[in-house]
């Protein structure tokens, strides 16, 4: 069966520090991978998605970046965190398909607090 791992679960970082969140998927090949952010009391905002190694699509211009060094690994990074980067970050995967009708499977999330 497929599983998705996301870590760390919680993170407290000072403003201006770097960030690296990692997500890995097991039990499937060639997944689509996604990073979403959920600000406190708000909905889910798509940050990045990837349909293959090295292929990253950015939805929102910001100081965050994403990379996919391996087929089932998705990394969210920042060189210098801002207060506004605080939120709940969710990684997700879906079966790669021509049509966007495949359901998403989510990780357990990372609660990031930038102080």
Partner 1 sequence: AQKVTQAQTEISVVEKEDVTLDCVYETRDTTYYLFWYKQPPSGELVFLIRRNSFDEQNEISGRYSWNFQKSTSSFNFTITASQVVDSAVYFCALSEAYTGRRALTFGSGTRLQVQP
- Under the rule (CB under 8 A), what is the footprint of partner 1? 32, 34, 36, 42-46, 49, 51, 57, 59, 88, 90, 92, 99-101, 103-109, 111
Q: How far is the CB of 15 from partner 1 (least distance, A)?
A: 24
CB of 73 or CB of 94, closer to partner 1: 94
- Indicate the DSSP class of residue 83: G
CB of 42 or CB of 80, closer to partner 1: 42
Q: How far is the CB of 80 from partner 1 (least distance, A)?
A: 26
Apex 96 CA angle, 93 and 102, nearest 5 = 70
Q: From residue 102, how far is each of 32, 59, 72, 97, 105 by CA, in Å?
A: 10, 19, 17, 7, 10
């Amino acid at each position: 069966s497929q599983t998705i791992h996301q870590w760390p679960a919680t993170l407290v970082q000072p403003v201006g520090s770097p960030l690296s969140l990692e997500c890995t998927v097991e039990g499937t090949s060639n997944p689509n991978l996604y990073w979403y952010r959920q600000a406190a009391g708000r909905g889910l905002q798509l940050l990045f998605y990837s349909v293959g190694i090295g292929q990253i699509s950015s939805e929102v211009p910001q100081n965050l970046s994403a990379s996919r060094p391996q087929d089932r690994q998705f990394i969210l990074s920042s060189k210098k965190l801002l207060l506004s980067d605080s939120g709940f970050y969710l990684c997700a995967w879906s079966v790669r398909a021509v049509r966007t009708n495949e359901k998403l499977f989510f990780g357990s999330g990372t609660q990031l607090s930038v102080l």
